[in-house]
Structure 1
Amino acid sequence: MKNILKITLLSAFIAVFTSCETSELELLVSPNNITVESADPNFILNDIQLTFNGIVGGYSAPSRQITRQVNQFSTYNGTVTETTLQGEWAQSYQMFANIDLLLGVNENTLDAGGIPYHVGMAQIIEAYAYMLLVDYVGDVPFSQANKPSEFPNPMVDDGATIYNAQLDLLDEAIANLNLGIQTNARLPEDIFYGSFDAANWIALANSLKIRGYLNMRLVNASAAAAGINSAQSGNIIDQNSEDFQFMYTASGTELPDSRHPFFTGSYLAAGAGQRMSNNFLDLLNAGDDQPPFIETGEIDPRTRYYIYRQDSAPPSGSNLPCASNLSNYDYCYVGNLYWGRDHADDEGLPNDGFKRSVYGIYPGGGAFDSDLFEQARATTDNLGGAGIRPFYLASFTKFSLAEAALTLGTNGNAATLLEEGIRLSMNKVRDFADGLDSGPFEMTNGDINDYVSRVLAEYAAANNDGKLAIIAREYYLAAWGNGTEPYNLYRRTGYPNLQAPIIPAGPFPRAFRYPDTELDGNPNIQQQPATTRVFWDTNPAGFID
């Protein structure tokens, strides 16, 4: 970490040299001599926003594997290693240094009113990023971070201390955003929402407070309940128009490629690079989340939006290696032409890149499954990669509040909040196919109503533990494309009931390991096992697998 500050100014201004014309560059100070006097706050903030998207994407990829959204091949130790978070760790601390630079620009321009909107946005991103570091690793450098001359080898701070500091920072961010409104401050460039509106960022800050307090409910229930009630009394993300997300485009002609990674990994010439999880496919494809995963006969209306099937025949022969040892599998093949693999299946990998099921239209900007059964690379009726990375959506807020109402007795009716979360998710997913030919397969209001009715009937008949499992299952399904929230949800609640690894896969990673690049340079950080639990995870060892 002691070298992070030396490279941060260059990273902060990469956006300048990839987006400006030569005539503009001639007016800039050399990036080796950037100061708070010469720095453009929009360029710094743009880099902060783009970096944060990459950080969340890096966390999400292994998380989607261990939580059975997509297939995990073999053991947990193969997915969560000492190198897994190298990039996310370095990018986070580089981003924090760039935020410090932005705060310096603000101080330097206070006589002109400062840049409170920029600061408020950056503080919210910083709080979110620090919470993610704690969620994934636990104790990390905070008070001594990014001070190389004073602390060349920073010590770690307690995760709870860091979390509480971020909740305070979110309040500071809200105050800065309100200051910007009062003073008609200079407007920032907003990559996430497109057109800047302070109300969206205030809603995000309050929603992140709900997120943080909900994670903390096992360690301090009364404080968590009070914090959630306070946050939800203000402006929160409760409409799809307020969703916090990164929007990709269909442009692949410029560098860097601005298409969604789900699209580039599934719809280009090399064939699909990821296998779907049979467990997730089964939940969509008329399955139940209670072992032995009994079929219920009702297909989730989002299925054709989430998953695209490339082949009109079921897997067989060399494309179905599990068939030779069915007794070891819960699924092997889930039916309805959905090609996936069981959790931790380490059998041979057939050359089925143009046959296996791939990402659909939501959220990766691929194709809607209208029974064409074409190779993904051959489909033309798709969004070309113009998808989203869902960071924190209105449906997430509703499911979080439903969990809080059920477990903490916070304001609101859990069943009503559950219904609202499902409807928000369904409508968001359906809107992705606007303008595409979905034939007779488009999700209808009747489909949504039928689904909601089934879930609410199931919920009404369940005991409190069963109710929590249902809320968690619906949150999990709505979070498709986001790995961070299901990872927290699973550790916090133990739900949804997910398929156990079909091989001895080792203990479920309750935390990720410190990156070896940090351990090599900082003797004050010692490696931790994957069984380490972050401060808010007080559930017992072996609680989940």
Structure 2
Amino acid sequence: MKYIKYLCVWAAALIIISCDDFLGDNENPNTPTEASPEVVLPNALTSTASLTRYFSSTAGWVVGIFVNAGGYGGWGDVVYYNYTTSSHAGPWESAFDDLNNYQYIIDQTEGDSTQAYANGIAKVMRVYDYQMLVDFYGDVPYSDALSGVDNLMPTYDAQEDVYQDLVLTLNEAIDQFQNSEFSNSPEGIDIVFNGNMESWAQFANTLKLRLLIRMSETSLASFAQEQFSGMETVGFITDDVVLNPGYGEVSGQQNPYWETYVQNASGTAAGSGRSSIASEYTYAFYDGTKINDPYRGAVVYREFGETPIGQLGDLNNNPTAPSSPNPSWLSNYETHIGVLKGPDAGVALMLASESYFLQAEAYMKGALSGDDEDAYENGIMASFRYLYEDASGNIGSNVDLDDEDVTVEFDVEEDVAAYLQENNTNPLVNYSLANSNEEKLEAIITQKYIALNFLMAQEAWSEFRRTGYPSVANGSTNPQSTFASILSTSPRADRLPIRFLYPASEFQLNSDNVPPGVDQFTTAIFFQGE
């Protein structure tokens, strides 16, 4: 959709309900003037799932998840990082489309006890979208935005101010989930937790933890410290947060990751699944170069041990993905476990593994009370569990991993124990080997990077920019030492970009308010480390 975020918020709802979607909306698409939250909410949540895929796919090229396959051209700013205002505009515009829908729900339900659940959910998801926007672009239209025709050219808020307000918004939502009497049940239209408000409170609290961790060593440290208080009483997610509106192998209804990286409903191979291959840098966390992890490696990567891998920017030597009918060389999609579980699989909005790793860092730094090593190992366990599950959430069994009729039954606890034992001298795995908080942080973030691989590259990129982990060798062109493109034009020591640029549509329609002088190599997001 062309740039609509400053049109009236109800227009976004009309756009949604006039789409040919699969949620069974029975509104007349030719004459609507408004839509109920019951109609808008599941559509908005479904859009957020696609948005999560969009942000992850975009960040994946920057943080070492994907590299260019041989035999393809047109890589341009992907490998040179010579971004323009036309580069990576899609996440911005799609996010504001989605935000309009959540704002519509908030406006329609504020103060209505019968719709308190929808109001709280919309607030949480508005935070979810805005956090990704800030992490990509920095300052954003916020306090004046999403107000329709009342303000078509909103000012930009400082990213630090946005982060603070996002935390306060989550506090409001948590209070609603815990203390409101819901006159109307959200069961049936809540395609994430099916009306479980305790789960929504814990999801909101875990999002809050993500924000506070990012703020904790910035100018917002005092605010963050205050906000850590009382978080343990709400609790954090212990299961993966998965959204499924009814995905299936039907045109327009497939899981968005499957549609992007494997094939469409008619079986035509997706170009993204063949033009992109795994990076040597990330693969080294599985194949024994940095960490020995054949367990997750075999379910994440197709033909593990023989997977085509390469280096970003190598236009001459990277392997060429085989031609159709092999849709994807990024993932072991044929097993229907791992990261591509099928066209009918749900989309993870947040992984339980990330929740545990966030807790581990908070415990390690004393921001919360708890056992950091226990949380760290629970994070590894949760990562194995998610990857071993199929689309129904069951642990895979009798899975053919190598196309040679050799089937495997998975045992999460047994394989995690073997993983820890086989890497017991490796400080990136064995947490007890860390001699300092910095070494503990490196282990936590490295394991988080592995858990987020392919699924949520946007979070991996933000954590890399915040902490510098997983570590890269400055100035190196060794593909196992850095994920920077060998064609990088970045003047930074690590040869990487640190943000994306505001899209051309902003300069066309809101030029007086766009922050000037933004550069992808020098204009840092506020939590950016040195």
Q: Could you report, residue by residue, the CA deviation over 1:468-493 in whole angstroms, capped at 9, with x for unpaired residues?
A: 21111111111121112101110111
CA-CA distance at 1:188 after TM superposition? 5.2
Q: Does 1:461 align with 2:448?
A: no
Query: What SS class does the counterpart of residue 103 from structure 1 fall into?
Result: helix
The answer on whether the counterparts of 1:9 and 1:98 sit within 8 Å (CA) in structure 2 is: yes
Q: Does 1:56 align with 2:56?
A: no
Q: Does 1:106 align with 2:109?
A: yes
The answer on whether the counterparts of 1:266 and 1:273 sit within 8 Å (CA) in structure 2 is: no
Query: What SS class does the counterpart of residue 57 from structure 1 fall into?
Result: helix
Identical-pair percentage? 20
Q: Matched residues in 1 for 2:396 and 2:65: separation?
A: 25
Q: Does 1:244 align with 2:237?
A: no
Which consecutive unaligned segments of at least 5 residues does structure 2 have? 69-74, 401-405, 473-480, 491-495
Alignment length (residue pairs): 476
Q: Matched residues in 2 for 1:430 and 1:79: separation?
A: 39
C-alpha distance 494-349 of structure 1, shift in aligned 2 (>3 A): closer
Give the structure 2 partner of residue 486 of structure 1. 460
Give the structure 2 partner of residue 301 of structure 1. 295
Query: What SS class does the counterpart of residue 242 from structure 2 fall into?
Result: strand
Q: Matched residues in 2 for 1:497 and 1:10: separation?
A: 46
Q: Could you report, residue by residue, the CA deviation over 1:154-173 in whole angstroms, capped at 9, with x for unpaired residues?
A: 11011111111111111111
Q: Matched residues in 1 for 2:408 and 2:228: separation?
A: 39
Mapping of 1:69-468 within 5 angstroms?
Answer: 69-71=65-67, 77-78=80-81, 81-107=84-110, 110=112, 113-147=113-147, 149-180=149-180, 182-187=181-186, 189-190=188-189, 192-193=191-192, 195-219=194-218, 220-237=220-237, 239-240=238-239, 243-247=240-244, 251-254=248-251, 256-262=252-258, 265-266=261-262, 268-270=267-269, 272-288=274-290, 298-309=292-303, 336-347=305-316, 351-354=320-323, 358-360=329-331, 366-367=334-335, 384-408=342-366, 410-432=368-390, 434-438=396-400, 439=406, 441-444=408-411, 445-453=413-421, 458=427, 459-464=431-436, 465-468=438-441
CA-CA distance at 1:185 after TM superposition? 2.8
Q: Matched residues in 1 for 2:21 and 2:191: separation?
A: 21
The answer on whether the counterparts of 1:120 and 1:173 sit within 8 Å (CA) in structure 2 is: yes
CA-CA distance at 1:496 after TM superposition? 0.7
Query: What SS class does the counterpart of residue 298 from structure 2 fall into?
Result: helix
Greater helix proportion: 1
Q: Which region of structure 1 is more displaced relative to structure 2, 65-74 or 522-531?
A: 65-74
C-alpha distance 274-386 of structure 1, shift in aligned 2 (>3 A): farther
CA-CA distance at 1:227 after TM superposition? 2.9
- 1:30 partner amino acid: T
Q: Matched residues in 2 for 1:2 and 1:385: separation?
A: 30
Q: Matched residues in 2 for 1:203 and 1:479: separation?
A: 20
Selected match of 1:519 from 504, 507, 511: 507
Please tell me the root mean square deviation across aligned C-alpha atoms, in Å: 3.1
Q: Matched residues in 2 for 1:506 and 1:260: separation?
A: 32
Which consecutive unaligned segments of at least 5 residues does structure 1 have? 289-295, 310-334, 371-381, 541-545
The answer on whether the counterparts of 2:244 and 2:346 sit within 8 Å (CA) in structure 1 is: yes
- TM-score relative to the length of structure 1: 0.79
Structure with greater Cα Rg: 1
The answer on whether the counterparts of 1:97 and 1:146 sit within 8 Å (CA) in structure 2 is: yes
The answer on whether the counterparts of 2:6 and 2:145 sit within 8 Å (CA) in structure 1 is: no
- 1:478 partner amino acid: A
Give the structure 1 partner of residue 446 of structure 2. 473
Q: Which region of structure 1 is more displaced relative to structure 2, 59-68 or 183-192?
A: 183-192
The answer on whether the counterparts of 2:210 and 2:358 sit within 8 Å (CA) in structure 1 is: yes
Give the structure 2 partner of residue 13 of structure 1. 17
Q: Which region of structure 1 is more displaced relative to structure 2, 91-100 or 158-167?
A: 91-100
C-alpha distance 358-164 of structure 1, shift in aligned 2 (>3 A): same
Q: Matched residues in 2 for 1:171 and 1:287: separation?
A: 44
Give the structure 2 partner of residue 45 of structure 1. 41
The answer on whether the counterparts of 1:260 and 1:387 sit within 8 Å (CA) in structure 2 is: no
Q: Matched residues in 2 for 1:156 and 1:491: separation?
A: 23
